[in-house]
Amino acid sequence: MSTRLASGGRFLDRSNKIRFTFDGVSMSAHPGDTLASALLANDRLLVGRSFKYHRPRGVVASGAEEPNALVGLGTGPRFEPNQRATTTELFDGLTAESQNRWPSLDRDLGAVNAALSRFLPAGFYYKTFLWPRAFWKHLYEPFIRRAAGLGKAPHPESRDSDTYEHFHAHVDVLVVGGGVAGLMAAKVAAASGAQVLLIEQTAHWGGRAPVDGGTIDGLAPEAWVAQTLSELDALPNLRRVARCMGAAVQDHGYVLGYERLTDHAPGSIGPRHRLWRIRAKQIITATGAIERPLSFAGNDVPGVMLASAMRDYVVNYGVTPGQRAVLVTNNDDAYRTALVLHEAGVEVVRVLDARPMGGGKLMEMVREKGIRVDPGRAIAKVSGGKRVATVHSCLADGEGNVLEDIPCDTVAMSGGWSPVVHLWSHCGGKLRWDDGAAFFRPDPERAPTGFDGQPMVIPAGAANGDMTLRNVLEDAVKSGENAALKVGREVVRIVAPLGEEAAEAALMPLWIVPTKATPDLRMKAFLDYQNDVKVSDLQLAAREGYESVEHAKRYTTLGMATDQGKLSNINGLAVLSDALDEAIPQVGTTTFRPPYTPVSFGAITGEARGELFQPLRRTPMDAWHDANGAQWEPVGHWRRPYCYRRPGETTEMAVNREILATRQSLGLLDASTLGKIVVKGPDAGKFLDMLYTNMMSTLPIGKCRYGLMCSENGFLIDDGVVVRLAADTWLCHTTTGGADHIHAHMEDWLQCEWFDWRVYTANVTEQYAQVAVVGPEARKLLEKLGGMDVSKEALPFMTFAEGTLGGFPARVHRISFSGELSYEVAVPAHMGRAFWGKLLELGAEWDVTPYGTEALHVMRAEKGFIMIGDETDGTVIPQDLNLGWAISKKKEDFLGKRAQERLHMADPRRWKLVGLETSDGGVLPTGALAVAPGKNANGQRNTQGRVTSSYFSPTLGRGIAMALVLDGPQRMGEELTFTTDDYDPADEAKTTLTAKIVSPVFYDPEGARNDV
Amino acid sequence: MLILTCPCCGIDAAEIELAPGGEAHLKRFGPGSGDAEFENYLFNRHAAKGPVLERWRHAYGCGKWFLAARDSVTMEVYGTYSARLPEPPEDVLARIRARHPGWEVPA
Amino acid sequence: MSETIQEPVSPLMGAVAEGALTVRELGPTGMISLRGELSDPAFAGPVTALAGCPMPDTWTVSGTGARALLWMSPDELLMLLPYGEAREAAPRLQAELDGQGLHALVQDVSDMRVRLQLQGPHMREALARLSPADVSPGAFRPGSLRRTRIAQAAAAIRLVSEEEAEVFCFRSVADYAFRLLGGAARNAPDFGYF
């Protein structure tokens, strides 16, 4: 059985006990345990079901590479699926649940898939669910939906109760990995004076060395690590962060680090995760190596584990997954596990060493302990359902004929080691195949390069393919020196500490176990545990022509999802290359994609949630709107009142009230969001003539003019009133959404094309609070404020004046977007709220009514004024909107002029703006299409127009609309048929509306109301 | 994520402080130009694999436009320079040609 | 009606968030945006005379206290001065420069930005949570200015001393910026990186 040993466990605090639950069962453990070690201590071998076949699975690894032991952690707002038990630090009260099982982990109905596995080969979904079509809805899709996905998503209504943050760090050298290589490289780089950041994904420093043994400068690795850490902590130019994974290496030395601050102590103060956004001049990847599984039948039965992981559990956590162990290996390292197990009192029944002559010194040490080693042997098959029962041994180089049945309850396997090259590869680092060691290692000739075209990543230690302690330390020193040199520091020589350990005999590559395994064995030999990809699947893919490794990966799903090739990669490639009869380096690897292991959404989001999800732009009067029933509408990042609802009012009632009050008496609009750009200089007039379609240089001082702006390809991009402030100074009003990009557009042309023109611009949008005072009583209100002459004579339509209005410094524009007598008054933003209050106070006698954007829209539509974004959609030119009057014929050039001469732009059949009146007074849906006879090439109904704006007009008591219609202006009075939202071509009678083409100016076409 | 040195203010700006502006060194064609040259100006871009000349604005900084010579495959930055220059300066050209012998500014 | 000029009210009305880091809205400040040829003595003369401090170098601030010049761009400065002075000082300066035939733009922008003060030992950490700019002591020294972004909003950061910075953002995002900075300080008050 899997159990806690009587002693050992260097991470444990044996004097304390903590409790946790797994699938509702309460269990006991010690501080320092991971969830995986705690489950093993409680004899919980079976921890999950596989993705496709729902096979029983146990813990295979001891770190980030774990493919099986994925669990749901926490409850309610802290529930999170797919957490690796091997990297989950246990705390008192932790709750975990297993995944991919129903109704329970021990009795899972989906396991029927496993019985059908013969019929679920690679590409099964692509092949099987093609036919018959009718089966899709009721059979295939529900089946796939139930089977698909790993774990379950948190409840959609739950909200994460933790906080997260980002942190930007700029360093000379980033060292990823806190094993002995990382520590040494960081020490050397820091000795040169470089700013160094060292990050380690686990809570512990020193990596594998304390488990694997040997000595460093005569010290036990653990002692050397402790000594080195205290040296590092004395350096002012080095920072080290534990529980921080190097997630991704990206362009120009941008690295993401994922720090987990409180996962091991939930509910404590501070952010749960911190996403480090690091800019490093040089990156040292000291990311170590990962042991490879061996591909024998039954290599996924719970109790089969990587030899190094088993060693970790014994040494670090005082836990053994069994009492009678069999080891199977093709290299010497696994013997270390045999020694550790023996030392801990676990019976090592047998070591099956695939190499004909067995191993070296380590093997001798194992034999000296009385442990039987069988060279040239391997595993034909492991039997046992939810727990290892028997190992059936065979000749390593045979077909799998069983030589001996070995009863046991756990199996340690070692297929050799692969450097962790993920971070090296993320940004384009290439690999080379090391034939002797049988792994891919970073190719120093093809490193990922940075902004200067020079290498920016330096691999160190095992990650660089140096597998002995001595070489690891020497390589780490070299890497640290190299990094220091590249960031422009003078290298301070530090002699590499001497690593000493038992010499190892050579590994023998072994990709399929046994090498000539029969098909039924290959169908039970897993390459990718997480995605249930077997040796037979890769071979099938090769037979079916998926020769490219990237194709085979997608066809079989090998190395996808969170695995990212950690365990599956090399074995899978080797099997594929064998099936293709090509060398492994010719087949190549798949792409290692970031993140190295999954990063929480919370960490990615950082502070950007809730009120900080996006910047919310508020006008100076925002607080008043909010307190007075504003129903908000987002406009760009601004929020503007759509209308102000009074108690008992619907939105429609409020909008209609606001419109009628404004037209009959007095309305106020917060127009502060309109863009305001000052343009000044000797060439400002010439510049504005290029920018606007009409002439702005001739605008007299003190006057206002409506202008249109087009992009260089002729389309209308913005409109607004331009004001001539002085001989060389204009003020350009833009749309609310346009202020920033029109300012950028102006600067673009001024800086890049006409840089010799003498013009300065300033975006002063936010300097002013602007209020539209609108309605027949508007003038009376301004006169009551006093201080400026706003009479018809002093301030006629389309003029402006500056002065002090009721104590407020003001610029008063007599312009109208509603057709009513109207003044737009700009005051300093810091006085905007007070000005608004003053207008409300003094306007009470005329029942002054604040109105929102919807009333604004309806009133402008009643007057036939266009709105950028409604009548325009990026394909509309001013001519389409009958705005030809605003396009200068005199100017030789303006932005968009040449484009508007293009054939398609000058086409008389372009749809043109008209007004529409529905036959029954109803309201057309915005976007409704006018149908035309016949069908187009795609069999769709032909169209001849489109509704761009549509409203109920309370002024007219009926629906009004604006539309772009083929030959529209020539078809006044004609009735068209428009689609409704539930348009059905088979039943047009019931799903269309008719409307008559009319002038778009519905209200006061003579403009009498404004001419007062 | 790129870093480009703004030649106008000297800041090493992160990509999120910059706004991209497409291909550099376009020659503007206005009224009176032929259909082909106007279309070429408006629509045809090189989108090269290798050295590219681009417009960038230091939008979250000094607000100035500048030009950058960058490799679209390796992300190497050959240099940044004033938006007023009609073509890349000699030192930038030399760095491009060190990697791509004989490279010429695309017509 | 009353002829006294209305009192200005800054967007956050002097709000303060106390904690390991104190975030304080500094209230109305006179600000004048200046565009011109910075190296031209004819431009610099009247500007420095009004500001009472010399022209700033690239990405620095000259002057302290109530009057200062912030280098915003190769052809742009932001002058800080008492709020009450800016409205009349700006057109006067514009007229003076115009009178010399200089091409320059002077705008009173006193109401356009919010000025947030950060004080506390971990002020740099708070900034580094939000800004991609290098705010380490080696790269960002007292007297420096950097225009960048804090989270999703444009910002100018002025380092006053080792324990004090000012962040200028547009007025409309004052609330967003205040919450950002307050939150950045509150989330992990003990985290010391620099």
Whether B30 sits inside 8 A of A428 (CB atoms) is no
CA distance C58 to C26: 25
Task: Please tell me the least confidently modeled range out of A32-36, A119-123, C87-91, C123-127.
Answer: A119-123
Q: Which of A751, A754, A763, A891 to mutate to test the interface with B (most CBs of B within 10 A)?
A: A751
Tens digits of residue pLDDT in A974-1006? 999 999 999 988 888 899 999 999 999 999 999
Mean pLDDT, range B59-87, rounded to an integer: 97
Domain-embedded: residue B72 = yes
| Residue A120 confidence class, pLDDT cut points 50, 70, 90 | low
Question: What pLDDT was estimated at residue A866?
Answer: 96
CA distance A331 to A27: 37
Question: What pLDDT was estimated at residue A535?
Answer: 92
Beta-bridge partners for A510: none
CATH number of A893-998: 2.40.30.110
Question: What pLDDT was estimated at residue A147?
Answer: 61
CB A897 within 8 A of CB A955: no
Domain-embedded: residue B23 = yes
CB of B40 less than 8 A from some CB of A: no
Sole residue written with tokens 């990650």 = A463
CB of B100 less than 8 A from some CB of A: no
Measured CA to CA in angstroms, residue A607 lies from A112, A932, C123, C147 at distances of 45, 52, 17, 21
Q: Is the pLDDT of residue A117 over 80?
A: no
Q: Which of A967, A978, A963 is nearest to A910 (CA)?
A: A967
CA distance A338 to A344: 10
Whether A451 sits inside 8 A of B3 (CB atoms) is yes
Beta-bridge partners for A422: none
Going along A599-649, which residue ranges are E strands?
Answer: 630-635, 638-644
Count of other CB atoms within 10 angstroms of residue B89: 14
Question: What pLDDT was estimated at residue C1?
Answer: 42
Interface of C with B (CB under 8 A): 58-59, 72-74, 76, 132-134, 146-149, 154
Whether B62 sits inside 8 A of C149 (CB atoms) is no
Q: Please report residues of A whose CB lies closer than 8 A to that of C188.
A: 165, 261, 270-271, 274
Beta-bridge partners for A89: A34
| Residue A180 confidence class, pLDDT cut points 50, 70, 90 | very high
Q: B39-47: which pairs have CB atoms within 8 A and are 24 or more residues apart?
A: B42/A712, B42/A713, B42/A899, B46/B106
C-alpha distance from B55 to closest chain A C-alpha (Å): 9
C-alpha distance from A700 to closest chain C C-alpha (Å): 20
A304-306 vs A410-414, strand pairing mode? parallel
Q: What share of chain A in percent tops pLDDT 70?
A: 96
CA distance A856 to A713: 30
CA distance A527 to A410: 19
Cα A200 versus chain centre, distance: 23
Query: In the 8-state DSSP scheme, what is residue A505?
Result: P
CATH architecture designation of domain A293-415+503-524: 3-Layer(bba) Sandwich (3.50)
Tens digits of residue pLDDT in B32-69? 999 999 999 999 999 999 999 999 999 999 999 999 99
Question: What pLDDT was estimated at residue A106?
Answer: 79
Got the DSSP string for A327-352?
A: EEESSSTHHHHHHHHHHTT-EEEEEE
Q: Is the pLDDT of residue A867 over 90?
A: yes
Domain range annotation of chain A? 1-156, 164-290+418-493, 293-415+503-524, 525-587, 622-673+770-860, 675-766, 893-998
Question: What pLDDT was estimated at residue C65?
Answer: 82
Tens digits of residue pLDDT in C58-74? 999 999 888 999 999 99
Question: What pLDDT was estimated at residue A312?
Answer: 98
Query: In the 8-state DSSP scheme, what is residue A48?
Result: E
CB of C9 less than 8 A from some CB of A: yes
Q: What share of chain B in percent tops pLDDT 70?
A: 100
CA distance A375 to A367: 12
The dihedrals phi and psi of A249, each to the nearest 5 degrees, come to -110, 125
CA distance A486 to A489: 7
Identify residue A484 by its one-letter amino acid code.
A
Sole residue written with tokens 């680092």 = A429
Q: How many residues does the structure list for chain A?
A: 1012
Parent domain of B92: 3-99
Identify residue A423 by its one-letter amino acid code.
L
CA distance A706 to A716: 14
Beta-bridge partners for A241: A199
CB of C173 less than 8 A from some CB of A: yes
Mean pLDDT, range A3-11, rounded to an integer: 95
Cα angle, residue B39 at apex, residues B35 and B45 outer, rounded to 5°: 155
Got the DSSP string for A245-305?
A: EEEEEEGGGEEEEEEESSTTSTT-SS-SEEEEEEEEEEEEE---EEEPP---BTTTSTTEE
Domain-embedded: residue B107 = no
Question: What pLDDT was estimated at residue A910?
Answer: 96
Beta-bridge partners for A813: A800, A824
CA distance A685 to A976: 45
CA distance A20 to A7: 22
- Give me the domains of chain C, ranges plus CATH numbers: 11-27+112-187 (3.30.1360.120), 29-110 (3.30.70.1520)
Q: Is the pLDDT of residue A730 over 50?
A: yes
Going along A831-940, which residue ranges are E strands?
Answer: 849-850, 912-918, 929-935
Domain-embedded: residue B36 = yes
CB of A902 less than 8 A from some CB of B: yes
Q: Which of A181, A18, A151 is nearest to A90 (CA)?
A: A18
Tens digits of residue pLDDT in C112-121? 999 999 999 9
- Tokens describing residue A478: 């070299």
Nearest neighbour of A449 by CB, restricted to B29, B64, B74 = B74
Mean pLDDT of chain B: 96
Mean pLDDT of chain A: 94
CATH architecture designation of domain A164-290+418-493: 3-Layer(bba) Sandwich (3.50)
Chain A with chain B: Cβ pairs closer than 8 A: 69
Q: How many residues does the structure list for chain C?
A: 194
C76-81 vs C30-35, strand pairing mode? antiparallel
The fold adopted by the segment(s) A622-673+770-860 is Gyrase A; domain 2 (3.30.1360)
Q: Could you confirm whether domain A675-766 is CATH 3.20.20.80?
A: no
| Residue A104 confidence class, pLDDT cut points 50, 70, 90 | confident
- Tokens describing residue A195: 């700013």
Sheet holding C153-161, edge to edge: C16-17, C22-25, C113-119, C164-170, C153-161, C145-150
CA distance A266 to A263: 5
CA distance A164 to A609: 10
What letters, b where the CB count within 10 A reaches 16 and e where it falls short, cover A352-373? Answer: bbbbeebbbebbebbbeeebeb
CA distance A352 to A392: 11
Tens digits of residue pLDDT in A659-711? 999 999 999 999 999 999 999 999 999 999 999 999 999 999 999 999 999 99
Question: What pLDDT was estimated at residue A121?
Answer: 66
CB A211 within 8 A of CB A312: yes
Query: In the 8-state DSSP scheme, what is residue A728?
Result: T
Q: Which of C82, C91, C83 is nearest to C46 (CA)?
A: C91
Q: What share of chain A in percent tops pLDDT 90?
A: 86
Q: Is the pLDDT of residue B81 over 60?
A: yes
Q: Is the pLDDT of residue A154 over 90?
A: no
CB of A453 less than 8 A from some CB of B: yes
Question: What pLDDT was estimated at residue A130?
Answer: 59
What ipTM was assigned to the predicted interfaces of this complex? 0.98
Q: Which of B3, B11, B82 to mutate to test the interface with C (most CBs of C within 10 A)?
A: B11
Tens digits of residue pLDDT in A205-245? 999 999 999 999 999 999 999 999 999 999 999 999 999 99
Q: Is the pLDDT of residue A50 over 90?
A: no
Do A164-290+418-493 and A293-415+503-524 show the same overall fold?
A: yes
CA distance A482 to A474: 12
Q: Could you confirm whether domain A1-156 is CATH 3.10.20.440?
A: yes
- Tokens describing residue B89: 């300066």
Specify the number of domains making up chain B. 1
Count of other CB atoms within 10 angstroms of residue A434: 13
Whether C130 sits inside 8 A of A166 (CB atoms) is yes
Domain-embedded: residue B83 = yes
Question: What pLDDT was estimated at residue A110?
Answer: 64
Query: In the 8-state DSSP scheme, what is residue A495?
Result: P
Whether B76 sits inside 8 A of A250 (CB atoms) is no
Going along chain C, which residue ranges are E strands?
Answer: 16-17, 22-25, 30-35, 61-62, 68-73, 76-81, 105-108, 113-119, 145-150, 153-161, 164-170
Domain-embedded: residue B104 = no
CATH architecture designation of domain A525-587: Orthogonal Bundle (1.10)
CATH number of the structural domain spanning residue B81: 3.30.2270.10
Question: What pLDDT was estimated at residue C2?
Answer: 46
